[in-house]
Chain A
Amino acid sequence: MKPRTVDKIATGIIMAVAGFIILLLAGFLSYIIIRGFGHISFDFLTSPPQTFREGGGIGPQLFNSLFLLVLTMIITIPLGLGAGIYMSEYAKPGRLTDFIRLTVEVLSSFPSIVVGLFGLLVFVNVFEFGFSLFSGALALTVFNLPLMVRITEQGLRSVPREQKEASLALGISKWKTITSVMLPMAVPVILTGTILASGRVFGEAAALLFTAGMSSPRLDFTNWNPLDPTSPLNPFRPAETLAVHIWKINSEGVAPDAREIAAGASAVLVMTVLSFNLIARWLGRMVYRKFTSSR
């Protein structure tokens, strides 16, 4: 065959594959959203699930997912910032730093189910936090920390060196330079990354099965005392999240409308994660524009 013919055939195949991927992705996303959208209503988003009857909702699960995300971020952000600052500003090139880098890389590659098992053993059993939001948040922190460290490092490296030098040359200490000059400039990058990471945390289920648990006690949404076992704000109660709920009703759901609930819950989950993504993208673009227009 002539090279020209081969070239044409190959180009055709690649175009066809690209078209196929686009169709596949479009079909995939629209399937989830269209299939589930009909089931989403105010009632569905706020009422508790039913085990045997129709008409259950996902209210507590949605609340649990959001609350767990907040708890996780409260623990992850200070730790991630600290470790990221260390890696970018304090670590001296050498064996120890290479080793820490390897560690972070390995931790970020651990399967989330293994992270969940570790949480079961250490947070649930050894520290006796039980199946609780707190154990779940700690497991998600382990799962999320490497990403947070990488994001912080990237953010700090994006700060021009002259800015750091200008502050140091005024006789400002290194720590004050990092916190008052460099971090504010790194915020856009860190914020964008953190929102993306939040999406990942929001949809995670495998790390939570054996840490936050697969059930939710009856919650009294009028009780806002965090120490009360029926209060939604109590971090030491078990909590099934939205993602875990989807998994559970798919594998052992007995309610007659289990499929519909799974579809509706999936649509809610995907739309939340997509909006996190869009916000992060939009934020990134805004900030990029602001930086380039003001030199």
Chain B
Amino acid sequence: MARSVEREKRSKHLVEEWVGRVYTLICVGLLVLTIFSMVYFVASKGLSTFFRDGVNPIDLFTGVKWAPESEPPLFGALPFIVGSFSTSILAALIAAPLGFCAAVFIVELMPKFGRKVLQPVIELLAGIPSVVYGFVGLSVIVPFFRDIFPGQGLGLAAGGVVLSIMILPTITTIATDALAALPSGLKEGSYALGSTRWQTIYRIVLPTTLPALLTGIVLGIARAFGEALAVQMVIGNAPHIPRSLFESASTLTSAITLSMGNTIMGTAHNNALWTLALILLTMTFVFVFIVRWLERRSKV
């Protein structure tokens, strides 16, 4: 009798442990499965441009003319690739110095005000939806550019500026953490030798935190590269390589956003859009690996 009670209790908690283990394992399994199916589906669609529709990969990566409906159709994706890289790098060029200055301000110059006001406000920016950035870009930045520069105001410059505000929180947060994590002895040693604050920042702080700062910048570029709607709203969406920053252009994401809804699944045009998505996906992997590499370096 006592023995069977004991056995029942035994099986009860064993079942419980088993349920917990299986449940969590299923959740993780789904997560991993999602990634794999995502890569699989996007790749199989994206690669069919080359294998089924017979487009030469070299033509796609170097062609400057995107005319999928013409006869014969032309799938030169270079304008989009150039557009994506130039807007996101432009955004990083603007945001990186701003973010670094903000981080120095928060950590070194006015920690109290910085931590209480500037940092929370910058972090709030990270939560603002991208369509709102696009709306403000369209109603403030584009008209502003139209007034002072030739052209319609739409273009790479407008895209870059909107993106730079969007990635400012990422860059600032990581730079602030890196500066704050610096051992205080390092800075004090420099001050003790009679260096000014700027000399200390320039000679000691900047070199030691460089890998972390770069991590922030790469993460920012990655976010800018994948951003779709905010850019699509202000860039003008002309499928060619612009000759100036204030001329209408396109990115990989804007091309997909604009045409995916108007093409039929399985057509060459549609498949070509999936190829653009595949390029985005591949770049994500590249960015993740760069970030991992930089993180390893900043640990040493």
Partner of B131, one of A106, A173, A179, A203: A203
A114, CB-defined interface residue at 8 Å:
yes
CA distance A106 to B38 in the complex (A): 11
CB within 8 Å of A: which B146-187 residues: 165, 168
On whether the beta carbons of A274 and B16 are closer than 8 Å, the reply is no
| Interface segment, one of B50-58, B62-70, B75-83, B277-285 | B277-285
B122, CB-defined interface residue at 8 Å:
yes
What is the predominant secondary structure among interface residues of chain A facing chain B?
helix
Query: Per-position contact with B for A247-276: 1 when CB-CB < 8 Å, else 0?
Result: 100110000000100110010011001101
On whether the beta carbons of B277 and A107 are closer than 8 Å, the reply is no
On whether the beta carbons of B24 and A204 are closer than 8 Å, the reply is no
What is the predominant secondary structure among interface residues of chain B facing chain A?
helix
On whether the beta carbons of B199 and A247 are closer than 8 Å, the reply is no
CB within 8 Å of B: which A200-247 residues: 200, 202-206, 209-210, 214, 243-244, 246-247
B244, CB-defined interface residue at 8 Å:
no
On whether the beta carbons of A14 and B129 are closer than 8 Å, the reply is no
On whether the beta carbons of B41 and A110 are closer than 8 Å, the reply is no
Measured CB to CB, the residues of B under 8 A from A are: 13, 16-17, 19-21, 23-28, 30-32, 34-35, 37-38, 41-42, 45, 97-98, 101-102, 104-105, 109-110, 114, 117-118, 120-122, 124-125, 127-132, 134-136, 138-140, 165, 168, 195-199, 201-202, 222, 225-229, 232-233, 253, 256-257, 260-261, 265, 274, 277, 280-281, 284-285, 287-288, 292
Measured CB to CB, the residues of A under 8 A from B are: 3-4, 6-7, 10-11, 13-15, 17-18, 20-22, 24-26, 28-29, 31-32, 35, 78-83, 85-87, 89-90, 100, 102-107, 109-115, 117-118, 120-122, 125, 142, 145-146, 149, 173-176, 178-179, 196, 199-200, 202-206, 209-210, 214, 243-244, 246-247, 250-251, 259, 262-263, 266, 269-270, 273-274, 276-277, 281
